[in-house]
Chains A and B, each alone.
Chain A
Amino acid sequence: MNSTAGVADIAKAVSTAQTTARAVVIAALARVEANNGRVGAFTDVTAARAMEQAERVDALLRDGKKLPLAGVPFAAKNLFDLKGVVTRAGSKINRDNAPATADAVLVHKLEAAGAVCLGALNMDEYAYGFTGENAHDGPSRNPHGLDHMTGGSSGGPAAAVAAGMVPLSLGSDTNGSIRVPASLCGLFGLKPTFGRLSRTGSFPFVAGLDHVGPLARSVDDLALSYDALQGFDADDAALVRRPLEAVSGRLERGSAGLRIAIADGYFGGEAEVREMIDKVAKALHVTRRITIPEAQAARAAAYLITMSEGAALHAQRLRTRAQDFDPEVRDRLLAGSLLPNGWIERAQKFRRWFQEQMLELLGGVDAIIAPSTPMRAPRLGQKTAIFGGVEMPVRPNLGIFTQPFSFVGLPVAAVPIAMEGQHLPLGIQVIAAPWREDFALRVARQLEKSGLAKAPVARGFADE
């Protein structure tokens, strides 16, 4: 199978014995070997493990077992535990830890469905950043423009999928870390409802905001993997016991019958962002606009909670090994250690208020459309950009549109929007009510069917 084959293509070909998991994995490992130097996606390649799993999958298929993700290669952001690998979470410090003794729950679930893990992927240190840059491992590079950022913190997961190394990756999203790189690398992503997917075996950042989810190149691929990832896990204190709410094969209705609105005001963005949103509105025949109340305050509250809780998580490491942090992360965590408690208390109370407002809005509409990022991928090393006419730092501000929604745990599909004449991607968020991932994915599917949403392997990485 070549670099453009998706999750569904591979699973079908392997399940029907047109090829083997072993052959698929050998080809994927060869692509990783050939291209990783250019994009900096993988930090650990677990080739031996992958070959063992591929052979196990082939044996199970020969025995007649049905596996929905048979032979699908994937990789996981390096904050997910992989048995035998040190979980670095983008840091130098955690490299001194012992190797993980078990796989993260989501890695296990994908492999139980027949997928094959190829290794661990680059990220912003401790998931604290939106750039995909990393002082220890070097940056992940955007396959659509190698001098540009992938976005982060799930930068490696985005680079690996956009470069066609794997059709599927696992990322995490505390404030936008799946949706920002999905936008900048032109991918589909899913940040599910808070409490939907297990975080067990992943290194935390801000427990009350941390989500995990998949990135892929089509809605079908996202849906197939999401269905395999669902399931209760008592070890994740935030997980809610829900029935399996499978979406695969249930998205073809698209947006028919759904009430959709475009977020205005705070989510207006620059000219190219507005142009993209206008195209989306036209494709979906949506004219309704809604204002999300106090979106700027929601972003501010998420920002402060993240700073403070992140600092508390890393307090001991800041005392003993400050010099070993990525400087971009260290200084923000040190500042986060010094914030007055009254600010954080107010931020938490505001969260409750904002949740109530969002639930009320989502009682009147089934999906809200907003941009994912305020701009296309900045250049690597770029420190500032113009946001709303004002020059501001890139690192925290790439997440201005994503933070308000993860702040209250809403499910969001990240959808890449194709624009003529643009080689650097840009994407939108489709936000739905809690537990209605299906609504968000149906809108994504509608945009995909219309031809407006697409996630091709980047030029120069696609097999002809």
Chain B
Amino acid sequence: MPPKLPDFDLWIDAVTPLVRLEVAPEYRAGVKNHLKTASKMAAVLEKAPLKDETEAAPVYRA
């Protein structure tokens, strides 16, 4: 079963003041849609195999 999606209104109302941003009423539907997409992306990533020892490559050289 896919994980339950969060309450995006609650998310926006809680976090935007913390990062000193405002989401105007006319932007809210768009922002919620993008949070929904991001949540789905995070769920995909959550399933990817990663060991505790894996480190990021912050300066990336292919």
| Neighbouring A residues of B32 by C-beta, 8 Å | 335
Task: Say yes or no for B50: interface residue by CB 8 A criterion.
Answer: yes
Contact residues of A between 348 and 374, Cβ < 8 Å to B = 348-353, 355
Which of A319, A334, A339, A348 has the largest count of B CB atoms less than 10 A from its CB? A334
- CA–CA, A347 and B54, complex, Å: 11
- CA–CA, A296 and B41, complex, Å: 9
The answer to whether A410 and B62 touch across the interface, beta carbons within 8 angstroms, is yes
- Is chain B's interface secondary structure helix, strand, loop, or mixed overall? loop
The answer to whether B49 and A337 touch across the interface, beta carbons within 8 angstroms, is no
The answer to whether B45 and A300 touch across the interface, beta carbons within 8 angstroms, is yes
The answer to whether A331 and B56 touch across the interface, beta carbons within 8 angstroms, is no
The answer to whether B44 and A300 touch across the interface, beta carbons within 8 angstroms, is yes
- CA–CA, A338 and B17, complex, Å: 10
Min Cβ gap B8→A in Å is: 9
The answer to whether B34 and A335 touch across the interface, beta carbons within 8 angstroms, is yes
- CA–CA, A327 and B21, complex, Å: 16
- CA–CA, A355 and B41, complex, Å: 19
- CA–CA, A113 and B17, complex, Å: 52
The answer to whether B15 and A353 touch across the interface, beta carbons within 8 angstroms, is no
Task: Say yes or no for A119: interface residue by CB 8 A criterion.
Answer: no
| Neighbouring A residues of B35 by C-beta, 8 Å | 335, 338
Task: Say yes or no for A386: interface residue by CB 8 A criterion.
Answer: no
Task: Say yes or no for A193: interface residue by CB 8 A criterion.
Answer: yes
User: Interface code B17-41, partner A: CB below 8 Å = 1, 0 otherwise?
Assistant: 0011111100100111111011001
Task: Say yes or no for A49: interface residue by CB 8 A criterion.
Answer: no
Which of A323, A349, A350, A355 has the largest count of B CB atoms less than 10 A from its CB? A349
| Neighbouring B residues of A336 by C-beta, 8 Å | 34, 38
The answer to whether A304 and B62 touch across the interface, beta carbons within 8 angstroms, is no
The answer to whether B31 and A335 touch across the interface, beta carbons within 8 angstroms, is yes
The answer to whether B22 and A297 touch across the interface, beta carbons within 8 angstroms, is no
| Neighbouring B residues of A355 by C-beta, 8 Å | 57, 60, 62
* Closest A residue, CB atoms, query B57: A352
| Neighbouring A residues of B11 by C-beta, 8 Å | 338
- CA–CA, A335 and B23, complex, Å: 9
**CB-CB under 8 A for A343 and B19, given A351-B56, A352-B56:** no
| Neighbouring A residues of B20 by C-beta, 8 Å | 319
Task: Say yes or no for A345: interface residue by CB 8 A criterion.
Answer: yes
27 A-B pairs with C-beta separation under 8 A = A194-B60, A195-B61, A208-B60, A240-B61, A296-B44, A297-B48, A301-B48, A303-B38, A318-B21, A319-B21, A330-B27, A331-B30, A331-B33, A332-B30, A334-B21, A334-B34, A335-B32, A335-B35, A335-B38, A336-B34, A346-B50, A347-B45, A349-B50, A351-B57, A352-B55, A352-B56, A409-B60
Q: Which 3 A-B pairs have the closest CB atoms?
A: A331-B30, A409-B62, A335-B34
Further 15 A-B residue pairs, CB within 8 A, beyond A194-B62, A327-B27, A331-B30: A195-B62, A208-B60, A238-B60, A322-B22, A335-B33, A335-B34, A337-B16, A348-B57, A349-B50, A349-B54, A351-B56, A352-B55, A353-B50, A353-B54, A434-B62
